[in-house]
Structures are given as C-alpha cells and as structure tokens.
Structure 1
Amino acid sequence: MADVVQYKLERMVNELDDLEERGLFSRREIAEIVKQRRKFEYRLKRPSPLKLDFLAYIDYEKHLDSLRSLRKKAVVRQLKQQGNKKLKKSVSDFAGISRILEIYRQATNRFKGDIVLWFQYLQFCKERRNGQMKKILARVIRFHPKVPGLWIYAAAWEFDQNLNVAAARALMQSGLRTCSNSEDLWVEYLRMELTYLNKLKARKVALGEDEGTLVQDKSSVDEKKWRDENKELFMTLDSDKETEEVEPDAQQGELKIDLFQEQGLSILSTVYSSAVEALPSNFGLRVRFLEVLEGIDLARSGEIRNQILADMRKDFSNEPEYWNWLALEESRSKSADPASQLDKAIQVYEEALRVVPSTTMFNLYICFLKEAMGDQNEDNDFVSRTLKVYEMAETTGCITEHLACEHVTFYLQLRRLKEARKLAEKFCKGKFADSVDVWSLRISIEMRCVTEKSLAPSKDDLHSMFDLLRNILGKFSVSKAESLWRVALKFFSNDKDYSNKMVDLSLLSLAKDGGSDIGFSLSSAIVNYVLQKNGIQQARILYKRYLGLPHPGLALYNHCIELETNLASAGDKASLKEARKLYESALTTYDQDVTLWKNYYSLEIKFGTSETSNAVHWRARKAVKDNAVLLSLPQI
C-alpha cells in the first residue's frame, strides 16, 4: 500500500514544481498539499474504502483547482500591467482535472450501482468539456441499461452539446428497445424529433426559403380567433381592390403544402402508435402526447387530437381518472362564458357517474363542485347539486365512511344543524354503526345542540348525553375510541357526578381492554384531570385503582412516575417514596425495558445515594438480557 501511494505522489512532482515556479503556491503550501493528498490516497487504498472518502478527495481537489485558477488570473493581471506576455498553459493547468477524473473513475469502479455518483461524474465532464463524455456515457449505459434517465441524458448531450442528431436518435431508439415501458422515454423521443424538425424549418426561414415555425404561438392564435369573431368591428378602405389582391394569395396559401408540418404530423402519428402499442394501459402517456400536440403547429393537428381522444375514451372509459381529466379539460377550455365551461364539465361528470358509478368518481365529482363553489355557500345551484351527488352515492351503495363524514360536515358548513343531526343519526343507526369517526361527528353535533340551548346544560341533557356515550364507548376499544373519550371527558369536566361516572366507566373499559404501553393513555388523561381538580392525594388514590387493573400499561406508569418525580424535585419526600414504589411495580412487568431502568438509575443519582444507584445499576445488568444495549446508554 505504501509503495503505491508513494509512486502516485512521485508522479505529482512535475505539477507541484510548476505551481511553485509560476508563483501560484509557496513551498509551505505545496508541502500541505502533499500531506493532504497522501492522507486521501491512504484512505482510498484501504481494503473497503467508503464512498465518502472518494467524495471528500474530489471536493478537496475541486477547491484546490479553483484556488489555482484564481491565483493564475491574479498573476496574469500583474504581467499585463508590467507589459509582459501572457502565461502559456503548462502541466499544472491540466493535472488537477485529470486527477479528479481519475478519482471519479476509481469511485465508479468501486460503486458501479450508485446512479447519483455516475451523474455527478457526467456533470463534471459536461462542465469541463474534456472530451471524456462519450466514453463515460457508454460505460454507465453498459452498467445501467434499464435506467431511462440515462438514455435521455445521453441523447440530450448528443443533441444539444455534441450536435449529433443521428447519434441522439440512435441512443433514444436503443433506449426504447431496452426500456419500452418508460413513459418519459417515449415523450422525450417525440420532443427531440419535433425539436429537430423545428430547427430545420428555422434554418429554411433564415435562408428565406420558408416562413413561420412549428412552435405554437398561443397569443397569435388567440388574436386571430378574436379578429375572426369580431370582423364587423374592422372597416377596410378600397375593399374591392383589397379582396382582389388578397384572394389569389389566400388561394396560393391554401394550395401550398407545408412539408415540415406534414412531416411533424407523420412523426407524431408513428411515435404515438408505437408508444400505445408498448404501453396500452398508460393513461398519463396519452395526456402528455396531447400536451406536446398543443404546443406545436402541425398539419391536420385536429384530426390526430380527435384520434387520441377517441382512443382514450375507448381504452379508459371505465377509469375515473379519464373522466376527471376530461371534465377538467372542459372547465379549462377557452370560452367567452365561464358558466358554459362549468356546465360542460358537470355534464362530463354526470355521464361518468352513469358509466363508472364508483366511490372514486363520486369523490372527484364532489371535490370539483366544492372547488367551483369556493367560499360562496349561498349558491343554491351548486349546493343542491352537491347534496344530490351525496344522496346519489348513498343510493347506489358507493358511499364510504369518508364520504358520509363529508356529507354531514357539508350540512354544518351550510349552517343547517338539524339536517346534519338527522343525517348523522341515520348513518350511526345504519351502515356506519361501527365507525368511530361517524360517531365522533354525531357526538360533536349533539353537544353543539345542547350548548346552543344554554351555556349550562340541564340535568336531562347531561343524562341523555351520558347514556348515549356509555352505549357508544362500550362498543369500541379504548384505543379506537380515543377521540370519543377526549370529547366526553371535556364535556363532563364541570359536573362532578358525571365526571365520577366517567371514571367508573373508564375502569370498566380498561379492565376489559387493558392500558396502552405507548401513545394515548386514557387512565393518564383522567389522572391528569383529577390532579388539576382535586389535588395529588385524590390523583394517587385514582392511579392506584388503575394500576390495580390486570394490564395498566407502561404509559400510565411513566406518567405517574413523571408526576411524582416533579413533586420530588420540589422537595416532597413522600413523592420520592411513591416514585420508587412505581418503578418497582413497573419493573415487575417491564423488566426488559432499558429506558425504564435508565430513568430509575437517573432518579437514584439525583435523589438517592451511591449505594442505591449502584444497586439499581447492578439489578439492571442482571435483569436485562441484551447487556450491549444497556451499556450503550450514557448514564448506565
């Protein structure tokens, strides 16, 4: 290893001497450069060098070459002021780039599967223009022939930088044979062919042999359309004479065939048919072909557009994605009347619901109506149509839990609380009786109705709400009904009797389902509430009742320990005893929890003695099976 590194450093002597002779670096700086390069070379000669080693070496050499370039410019300026000749290029001007390329070569040999590294290599060659690009492109394509982006990158370089259209076309066609399922390859191949055709036409225009361009100018098209629609606004002088002069030219224009537009149409038709044959079920490909078609001016472009649309309707008429795209296209079409655009889009959605009555289609239609409605909920036409779509989804059996919640919420947005209440009750008694989200929505509506009557709910209202919640909470596990429990605890927080009833109900639920080890803990939330209302003594009584259940859960233990530890920090000695009892009780069940041991050890370090902390440490090492994890913790 040392001999190889020394040999490489000796080969740098000419470069380093040149840098010193030109005054770009001092002898001390060159010694530092040699030191850094020796360090990097040793890192690369390890049995298993890392990718970061190569990248760090490349980064260092790039910065060094940039510094050399800046200092050379400063030397050249000084020579010009003195009237001397320019500096000729020497070995130091090329050695840095050659070294970076060699490091990239070694890195890509080591990490052949790293696409990002290959692209960095290519980008560096492209920026420096050192003549290695074609060779490196061939290598990376040989290693990664199934990556469409590489074929596109290589063809783009041949087309734009190397100006070799034949090579670019050959690369794209080879890529299409290898990656025929790539949507991007087909679209970029079409763009490349049309761009080349447009360049040929621009060349003819520059030579005065043709006029116009294949690129569609939307402003001129719109202006021409507006002029045609408003002919009566314009008055011409000597109209007879003008028509006599214009008509022959117009006839000649109609007879004249634009060969470039015809050729472009032929290319688009050929590529489109081949792409559809290779990707018959790719809807996005057809959409992108239409986008390309809209951006160019081709002969009989309307015919091929209609053909693509007809093919899309034939192949994707059972896909909601197609109908949604078609409706959005109608809504974005250029028309003087925005209302007619919306009507056309709505007609498309209505037809889609007849052809594809699916949940996705109803979702897309409702989203469109809400976006069209905006913040104007007073628009009766859109409101009635949206409600009709919701009802249609329910009658056809396509309604889901999400749509049901949206339907109820839409009534609430319209401030129609009674209808929302009836609908939520209907859903909870019917198809969505087992849906927590629908029940949560209904409970929130019922509570809203109670609070709208008066700020202080009556006993009858509280009783009816408690009965409803008791029936619901008994149906679902505590983990599923988290939102319902939170709402219920908040609602009854100001009534002591019903708060106690909720505590008893929670004890029954937790005895059946058990507590939670992570995440939401119902018992912790209730203990928190009792602590704020009645103080630490009542909170201790309550959490001890919870801890007496079959599976109280680690989350409750952690919460109670945190509560007692905070009070111990304030000087409460009783809380320190309770915290130790909690730790001991928790460790009987969760003795493999490393974090619990760590926290217990921290408590003894802070409040106990060296004997108690060492005892906890010894017990932890004895109890935990994975001692390596235990030792990795900083405080154990």
Structure 2
Amino acid sequence: MAEKVRYYLEQTVPELQDLQKKGIFNKQEIAAIMKRRTDFEHRIGSRGVKPADFLRYVEYEMNLDSLRRKRIQRMNLKGRSSVSDWAGKRRILFVFDRGTKRFPSEISLWTEYVEYAKQADAVNVLTKIFTTVLRLHPTNASLWIMAAQHEFEVNANVRAARSIMQRGLRFASHSARLWVEYAKLELNYLAKVLARRQILGIDDADKTTDEAAERLRDDDELASDSIKLPTSTAEEVRDDLRALPDVDISVLGSLDTNPALNGAVVEAVMDAAAKAVPGRELAVKLLELVDSFPFLACQQRLVDHVADALYAADPALQANVLVYVKAPTRAVLPSVAAFPAALQTSLRRFWAAVDGRDDAKAIADDYAAGLGQFLAFPSLDPALEKAIKATQVKIARRFP
C-alpha cells in the first residue's frame, strides 16, 4: 500500500511546485497539504475504508481548490494557465472515480460524483459516469432521471433524453416517479416547441406565452411518489414502450392538424403509465404535473384524459368522482369566455354522479366548497357570481 500511496502523491508534485512558484501557497502550506493528502491516501487504501472516507477526501480537495481560486482573485494573478489551474478539478474527479470503483453499489457516492461533474462542466466524464452507473444500477429510477435531465437540459438533446427514459422504464416500469418524470419531459419539450412556434408567428392564438420559458427554468423536480408493484406483465409494458415516440415532435401543422402539438404524445405516456403502475396515486401525480403547465393550450385536454380514466377505473371511489366532476373547470380560469360552458359541463357531471349514491352529501359538500373558490376570484362577472351562489343554495337544499 505504501508504494501505491507514494505513486499517487508523486503525481501531485508538479501541481504543488506550480502553486509555490506562483506564490499562492508558501512552503509550510505545501507541506501541510502533502501531509493531509498522505493521511487521506492511507485511509482510503486501508481495508476498513468506508464511502464517507472518499467523501471527506473530496471535501478537502474542494475546499483547497476553492481557496486557491480566492487567492488568485485577491492577488490578481493573470497570464497563461498552468498545471495548478486544472489539477484540482482533475484530482477531485479522480478521487470520485476511485471511490465508485471501490464501492460500486454506493448510490450516494455516485450521486455526488455526478453533481460535481456537472458543476465542473466535465461533459465527457458525465457521459462515462452515466454509462457505467446505469449498467450497474438499471432499476434505480433516480439515476435514469438524472441522465435524461442532463441530456435534455444541458445537451438540449430531447431524442437522447427520451431514449434514456424509455430504456429506464424497461428496467423500472414499476416506478411511479419515473413515469411522472417522463411525462414531465414530454410536457417540457412540447412547451419549448410551442414557444418557438409563437416566436416565429406560427401560432398567434396559442396559449403559450413568455411564461413558458420562465417556468421551464424554474420548474423543480417533483417529489417522488410511493411505488406499487405492477399487475401488467413485463411483455405488455414493453409493448407499450415500443409504441411511444422515439423521434422529435414535428413543428409543422397546427394544434388541430398535428395531434402531437395538442398533447397526444403525453396522453400516450399517461396511458402506458396507467398500465404499468395501476392505482390512483400515479394518476393524482400526473394531474398535479399537468396543473404546473397552465400555459399549454392542451392542459384541459390532458386533465380530462386523466380524470376520465380515473372515473372509469373506479367510479365507486368518492375521490375519483370529485376529480371527474371538477375536471372541466380545473384548468379554466373564471375570467375566460370558456368558463361558463365548462361550469355547465361540471354541473351536469355532478348531478349525474350523485344520483343514488350513499355518499352524495359528502360529495355535494366538497363540490359546493369548490364552487366557493371561484367566488374569491377577482373581477368575477356579476352574472356568473349570481349563478354560482344560486347553485350553492340549490345544493344545500338538496343535501341538507
């Protein structure tokens, strides 16, 4: 082990000499750095090494590199770059690489490795990391999501991101979170396409606005959902995945003539998800996801799609009934011209749904309370306000 430690330390000599030559660190500080690195090398080379030892080593190297940059800035050092300018980043990546090889099953170590490679803008290293870790942990949904996000957000390669998601779902089709993130990827891409079309003047009447770009930057990753075992067979899931798109959405046509621009791809993902992960929890997550894209013209269509599927799956469940009857107004603001018609559709569904149910009063109370939220909307049309209040009174009399 001593020979290996000596070998690794000798690799750092040119860097330390360069730091001393530039005056960034003095002789005593260089000696202290060498001592700390010697201690870390002996620790990670021992039989009792733990993943935390590699992380502590990395933390020390990060702090050292940060101190180096601060001193360069304070000393206003300029000129051609030298070995010490890039040696710190390379050394941190090297320690991570050794740690993941020693503990290939330690997900936290891989995650930290990925995050630092992103921060260091080490694109080629990231590609190698994802290739290796996904081969070692093919059922880990978080890793597939990280890889797809890198392709979509950094490399702007939606085809590669979509391919990664679909490959991940072949290994982890039971993961509700992975399905939600795949739907989110398609919604984000659709928003980008529609935003470009509007900039080009293709869709003057499109709902997409500048808010789309802002939301795409600020949108946080959804919290992970609980996982349920699928009831569909693996072959059925594979068939559903083969039917999903593997090419970019065409920007040609219009919302009426091009189904992809009107949410058809997202609907296909939702349908495949419902087969792979049966149950209500995934559908609720998908509804929450669609709620976060109010600038898409197809939002109401997607809401209706999920709500209809929920109600058809279990019409006896009170929660499903409430989602179904409220769906027509879920994505329609009271200020738009389409709201009165949407409210009428919702009311028709409500009266039909509560007919003959034992839990009709509970559904009615919840629905009436939901109508009250529209009354708090600023600048509500007086006639609409009057109609909503009259409906609340009617419901209260019918279900005292």
TM-score (normalised: structure 1): 0.45
| 3-state SS of 1:39 partner | helix
> 1:262·1:298 contact (CA, 8 Å) conserved in 2?
no
Q: Distance in 2 between matches of 1:166 and 1:99?
A: 33
Alignment RMSD (CA, Å): 4.1
Correspondence 1:47-126 to 2 at 5 A? 47-75=47-75, 77=76, 86-126=78-118
Q: 1:302 to 1:209 in 2, by over 3 A?
A: closer
Residue 264 of structure 1 pairs with residue 256 of structure 2: no
Q: 1:264 to 1:280 in 2, by over 3 A?
A: farther
> 2:61·2:88 contact (CA, 8 Å) conserved in 1?
yes
> 1:194·1:264 contact (CA, 8 Å) conserved in 2?
no
Q: Distance in 2 between matches of 1:260 and 1:94?
A: 53
Q: Distance in 2 between matches of 1:217 and 1:24?
A: 47
Q: Distance in 1 between matches of 2:356 and 2:209?
A: 37
Match of 1:253 in 2: none
Deviation at 1:319, TM superposition (A): 2.3
Q: Distance in 2 between matches of 1:209 and 1:350?
A: 41
Q: 1:310 to 1:3 in 2, by over 3 A?
A: closer
Q: Distance in 1 between matches of 2:119 and 2:257?
A: 34
Spell out, residue by residue over 1:48-67, the C-alpha distance to the aligned partner (whole angstroms, 9 max, x if none): 20222112111111110001
Residue 153 of structure 1 pairs with residue 146 of structure 2: yes
> 1:187·1:285 contact (CA, 8 Å) conserved in 2?
no
Q: 1:137 to 1:99 in 2, by over 3 A?
A: same
> 1:15·1:92 contact (CA, 8 Å) conserved in 2?
yes
| 3-state SS of 2:282 partner | helix
Correspondence 1:487-526 to 2 at 5 A? none
Correspondence 1:263-342 to 2 at 5 A? 263-265=260-262, 266-285=264-283, 288-289=286-287, 291-292=289-290, 295-298=294-297, 305-326=303-324, 334=333
Larger Rg: 1
> 2:139·2:172 contact (CA, 8 Å) conserved in 1?
yes
Residue 165 of structure 1 pairs with residue 158 of structure 2: yes
Query: What amino acid is aligned across from residue 119 of structure 1 in structure 2?
Result: T
| 3-state SS of 1:203 partner | helix
Match of 1:615 in 2: none
Q: Distance in 2 between matches of 1:309 and 1:372?
A: 18
Q: Distance in 1 between matches of 2:351 and 2:37?
A: 67
> 1:146·1:179 contact (CA, 8 Å) conserved in 2?
yes
Q: Distance in 1 between matches of 2:39 and 2:105?
A: 26
| 3-state SS of 2:33 partner | helix
Spell out, residue by residue over 1:388-418, the C-alpha distance to the aligned partner (whole angstroms, 9 max, x if none): 89xxxxxxxxxxxxxxxxxxxxxxxxxxxxx
| 3-state SS of 1:47 partner | coil
1:191 to 184, 189, 199: 184
> 2:138·2:171 contact (CA, 8 Å) conserved in 1?
yes
Query: What amino acid is aligned across from residue 53 of structure 1 in structure 2?
Result: D
Q: Report 1 or 2 for greater relative contact order, CA contacts < 8 Å, sequence distance ≥ 6.
A: 2
Q: Distance in 1 between matches of 2:197 and 2:48?
A: 58
Deviation at 1:176, TM superposition (A): 2.0
Seq. identity, % = 31
| 3-state SS of 1:311 partner | helix
Match of 1:46 in 2: 46
Spell out, residue by residue over 1:97-121, the C-alpha distance to the aligned partner (whole angstroms, 9 max, x if none): 1111121122222333332222111
Q: 1:259 to 1:201 in 2, by over 3 A?
A: farther
Q: Distance in 2 between matches of 1:367 and 1:306?
A: 19
Q: Distance in 2 between matches of 1:349 and 1:108?
A: 60
Correspondence 1:238-249 to 2 at 5 A? none
Match of 2:36 in 1: 36
Deviation at 1:323, TM superposition (A): 3.0
Q: 1:110 to 1:328 in 2, by over 3 A?
A: farther
Match of 2:379 in 1: none
Bigger helix share: 1
> 1:283·1:316 contact (CA, 8 Å) conserved in 2?
no
Deviation at 1:137, TM superposition (A): 1.2
Q: 1:203 to 1:351 in 2, by over 3 A?
A: closer
Deviation at 1:133, TM superposition (A): 0.8
Query: What amino acid is aligned across from residue 147 of structure 2 in structure 1?
Result: A
Query: What amino acid is aligned across from residue 262 of structure 1 in structure 2?
Result: P
Spell out, residue by residue over 1:135-178, the C-alpha distance to the aligned partner (whole angstroms, 9 max, x if none): 11112211221122211111111011012222111101111222
Spell out, residue by residue over 1:363-404, the C-alpha distance to the aligned partner (whole angstroms, 9 max, x if none): 88888899999xxxxxxx99xx79x89xxxxxxxxxxxxxxx
Q: Distance in 2 between matches of 1:331 and 1:213?
A: 19
> 2:152·2:161 contact (CA, 8 Å) conserved in 1?
yes
Deviation at 1:303, TM superposition (A): 5.8
Q: 1:36 to 1:205 in 2, by over 3 A?
A: same
Q: Distance in 1 between matches of 2:91 and 2:146?
A: 25
Query: What amino acid is aligned across from residue 27 of structure 2 in structure 1?
Result: R
Spell out, residue by residue over 1:221-254, the C-alpha distance to the aligned partner (whole angstroms, 9 max, x if none): xxxxxxxxxxxxxxxxxxxxxxxxxxxxxxxxxx
Q: Distance in 2 between matches of 1:49 and 1:349?
A: 67
Correspondence 1:458-473 to 2 at 5 A? none
Query: What amino acid is aligned across from residue 116 of structure 2 in structure 1?
Result: F
Match of 1:5 in 2: 5
Deviation at 1:205, TM superposition (A): 4.1
Deviation at 1:180, TM superposition (A): 1.9
Match of 1:621 in 2: none
> 2:54·2:95 contact (CA, 8 Å) conserved in 1?
yes
Q: Distance in 2 between matches of 1:306 and 1:110?
A: 50
> 1:349·1:365 contact (CA, 8 Å) conserved in 2?
no
Q: Distance in 2 between matches of 1:355 and 1:313?
A: 15
Q: 1:212 to 1:6 in 2, by over 3 A?
A: farther
> 1:269·1:304 contact (CA, 8 Å) conserved in 2?
yes
Match of 1:600 in 2: none
TM-score (normalised: structure 2): 0.68
Query: What amino acid is aligned across from residue 155 of structure 2 in structure 1?
Result: N
Question: Which residues of structure 1 form unaligned runs of 5+?
Answer: 80-85, 219-255, 374-380, 390-636
> 1:146·1:178 contact (CA, 8 Å) conserved in 2?
yes
Spell out, residue by residue over 1:294-314, the C-alpha distance to the aligned partner (whole angstroms, 9 max, x if none): 635446x76665454333211
1:142 to 107, 126, 135: 135
